[in-house]
Amino acid sequence: MNKINDIFKDKNLKLTPQRYAIYKFLKSVKTHPSAEMIYNELKQDYPTMSLATVYKTLKTLIELNLVQELNVGEDNFRYDANVDIHPHIICLNCGKVDDIENTNFDNLKKDVLSYTDYDVLSYKLYFYGICSECKKGR
């Protein structure tokens, strides 16, 4: 995790323990947590950290393109330290957010370019369904 160190130095930002912990946690996890979830998790190791710091740090990390924000359709945002464009799938039953991996939608952007007069810069794909655990439990 040297990358973040250099990026922060580059921008004359301070890499505080809180910032490092939030990024490291997001990197280590595939659950796409909300700010509140991150806060509750890190409270154990950083009991004095406030929710406001989590929000401020997330905003900073997004500006540095180290984290992306997901809008799955809940009342809050989810965060993902994998900033590559990749689709997500949300369980309509338990609310879990998963990556869809190994897919290749590179051609999608090209397709869209031919249907619109926008300059297309990026995209977000959200799929909705029922996860395997929720399917079992019925």
Please give the annotated binding residues for Zn(2+), written as ranges. 91, 94, 131, 134
What gap in Å lies between CA 34 and CA 1, rounded to an integer?
22
Q: Does 18 bind DNA (CB under 7 A)?
A: yes
Q: How far apart are CA 57 and CA 52, in angstroms?
A: 8
User: What would the two tokens of residue 89 be?
Assistant: 């799938």
Residue 73: name the closest of 32, 120, 109 by CA.
32
Q: Which is nearer to a copy of itself, 83 or 112 (CB)?
A: 112
Give backbone dihedrals phi and psi of 134, rounded to 5 degrees, phi first. -70, -30
Question: Is 36 one of the binding residues for DNA (CB under 7 A)?
Answer: yes
Query: Is residue 10 close enough to count as binding a copy of itself by CB under 8 A?
Result: no
Distance in Å, CB of 97 to DNA, minimum: 13
Chain positions contacting a copy of itself, by CB under 8 A: 69, 71-73, 87, 89, 91-92, 98, 100-103, 105, 108-109, 111-112, 115-132, 135
